[in-house]
Amino acid sequence: MPRVSQEYREKRQRQILDAATICFARNGFHATSMPDIFAESGLSSGAVYRYFTGKQAIIEALLDSTMQPVLRGLRDAAEAEPPLTVPEILDVIHREMVTVPDADAATSLIVQFWAESMRVPHLQVSQRRDAAALHDAVLPLLTRLHPGDRVGSDAAWALISLSLGTLISQTVLKTNTVPTGTLVEELRVLLSKST
């Protein structure tokens, strides 16, 4: 039997993960069955099980892959000239968070991960690890904006909180279409008036 290349394996895994994302977005984690994923992917059960032992393994693989594009985008941005502004950093996070396979499916998946992590301890651990990695990727970007000033760790958490809030209002609830730059400026004005 001929050996398959690493590229072929990665392409097949991505096909399965993309199909699972569509199924999970449509029906949720619990209502999606493995046969649903087989049908959406166009692959046989044997082909899917060759790469994943079951639905939980697919969920975990999706969880592991969700933050990687965001972290890559932020790490690449750490070298950008001129340094990214706060709205640009937020835009990188949002753009990279909702890329695969489409914004609505990706957003649904993210929200389901958050909900599932409330009841599954090892998913909560994974979500915390991803949040810490996001913090560690954001902090150097903020430090570059204020050379010579001490930018504390809390600044990165503040930006992440703003990011998650705008993600929910813009992408999940779709109640907010205000550009990120405008939101940041409005927040700056509010904070300046409250001190």
Same domain for 103 and 131, yes or no, is yes
Same domain for 52 and 31, yes or no, is yes
- The 10s digit of each residue's pLDDT in 9-22 is 999 999 999 999 99
Same domain for 88 and 183, yes or no, is yes
- Read off the tokens for 18: 């993309």
Same domain for 78 and 159, yes or no, is yes
Residue 169: alpha-carbon gap to chain centroid: 16
Same domain for 74 and 55, yes or no, is no
Alpha-carbon distance 108 to 126, whole Å? 18
Question: 101 pLDDT band (50/70/90 cuts)?
Answer: low
Q: Which domain holds residue 56?
A: 1-65
SS (H, E, C) 19-43: HHHHHHHHHHHHHCCHHHHHHHHCC
Q: Give me the pLDDT at residue 180, please.
A: 83
Q: Give me the pLDDT at residue 195, please.
A: 59
Same domain for 19 and 75, yes or no, is no
pLDDT of residue 111 exceeding 80, the answer is yes
Q: Give me the pLDDT at residue 35, please.
A: 98
Total domain count, the chain? 2
**Largest pairwise CA distance in the chain:** 71
Q: Give me the pLDDT at residue 168, please.
A: 85
Same domain for 55 and 113, yes or no, is no
Backbone angles phi, psi at 178, to 5 degrees: -70, 130
Residue where a domain stops, chosen among 10, 31, 65: 65
Same domain for 74 and 57, yes or no, is no
pLDDT, mean of residues 72-88: 90
What CATH number does residue 17 fall under?
A: 1.10.10.60
Residue where a domain stops, chosen among 45, 65, 85: 65
Same domain for 83 and 137, yes or no, is yes
**DSSP structural state of residue 41:** H
Same domain for 84 and 58, yes or no, is no
pLDDT of residue 102 exceeding 70, the answer is no
Residue 49's identity, in one-letter code, is Y
Alpha-carbon distance 59 to 57, whole Å? 5
Backbone angles phi, psi at 65, to 5 degrees: -90, -15
Same domain for 60 and 106, yes or no, is no
Same domain for 22 and 118, yes or no, is no
Residue where a domain stops, chosen among 65, 86, 105: 65
Question: 100 pLDDT band (50/70/90 cuts)?
Answer: low
- The 10s digit of each residue's pLDDT in 120-172 is 898 899 899 999 999 999 999 999 988 878 888 899 999 999 988 888 888 88
pTM > 0.85: yes or no: no
